[in-house]
Amino acid sequence: MKETKESSRRKFIKSAGIALAGLTLLGGGIGYYKSVDGPKFTRKPNFLRPPGAIDEETFVYACIKCGLCVQICPVEAIKLADINKGLNYGTPYIDVREQACDFSCDSLQCVETCPTAVLNFKPFEIAGGNAIEKYNKEHKATNPGFNPFSVQIVAMKSRVRMGKATINKETCLAYHNKGFNGRPRGKDFKGIYRSPDSQTGKPSPLSEKVFDRKICNLCVTECPIGDNAIVMLASGKEAKLRPQVLDGCTGCGVCVMVCPTQQASIIVEPIEEDSHV
């Protein structure tokens, strides 16, 4: 069948019309779904954007879904969202109950590697630089043995604000004056992390560790940030020791991962970090 110019033009206009209608439906549909459902989901506890994430609205389009942050993470905390996760397809998230960010990369590599800076390295760079400057001022004679990285690392990870932990007093063992003995998440749990008392300095499986505590304080002892983030404080009439989350909490979620109760008694509520623009 030979097509005339006229009939092929008509055919093009017809199919272009169908295509446009399809696009409008698709765009409208997905756009509506995302505006209604997307942000709500990311505000669910324990589902966090990786460190340094800019505001969610900009994040969803400026993230090009390459997965470089997924690749570089040594503990494989970051995953790319599938469509059934309610997040934007292909964008990175951390499910801290399954695998928390334990900062064992020591340099926020996921942020550094991001090509579009939706994980924004600027604040960490500044925090690290300031820390070194401050150290040098305080220790006037420059110590030749001084390794600036250790100071920088602490400052950088302390600057992270993925979310903030809150303790569920109803179920927390410490609030019921209970201790904990055994493996917090069972033998088959896959999560790994670098415990503060680790000898090797490398992350190891949580399932390999056996704890024995008179009053459960795993969230406090395993926290990679330490005293600024969560401490055991004496409170109440009997002055019993109970975990208290402080302002230094980065929302890394290691406490959530190690919490031995059936449902984690500590959760991380996501906070959207400051936009860099």
Partner 1 sequence: MFNNPKKKSPLPAKSLKEMPHYKAGITYKEWHKPKPETNKWRNIRWSVLIAVNGLFVVSYLFGLSILEGSLSGSRALGFYLIDTYNALQVIIISLFDGHFAALTINFWIGFSTILILSIFGGRTYCSWVCPYHLLAEFAEKLHNYFVKKKKIKEHTYSIYLRFVFWIGFLFVALFTKNIVFEDINPVGIISRSLIYGPSLLLLWIGALLLFEIAYSKRFWCRYACPVGATWAITGKMAMLDVKFDLDKCGYCRDCQEVCLVPHTLWFVEKGKATQEVHFTDSDCTRCGLCIDICSGNALNFTIKGMDKI
Residues found near partner 1 in the complex (CB under 8 A):
8, 11-12, 15-16, 19-20, 23-24, 26-28, 30-31, 34-35, 57-58, 60-62, 64-68, 70-72, 79-80, 82-84, 88-90, 113, 115-117, 276-277
Say how far apart CA 28 and CA 244 lie, in whole Å: 45
Least CB distance to partner 1 at residue 72 (A) = 8
Q: Pick between residue 126 and residue 234 the one whose CB is nearest to partner 1.
A: 126
Nearest one of 218, 186, 221 to 205, comparing CA atoms: 186
Nearer to partner 1, 17 or 179 (CB): 17
Please say which residue, 110 or 266, places its beta carbon nearer to partner 1: 110
Smallest distance, partner 1 to C-beta of residue 85, A: 10
213: exposed, middle or buried (Cβ count in 10 Å: 0-12, 13-18, 19+): middle
Q: Write down the least CB distance from residue 222 to partner 1, Å.
A: 25
Comparing CB distances to partner 1, the nearer of 213 and 276 is 276
Query: What is the 8-class DSSP label of residue 263?
Result: S
Question: Sign (positive/negative) of CA torsion 242, 248, 253, 258?
Answer: negative
Q: How far is the CB of 164 from partner 1 (least distance, A)?
A: 26
Q: What percent of the residues of the chain are helix, what percent strand, and what percent coil, each to the nearest 5?
A: 35, 15, 50
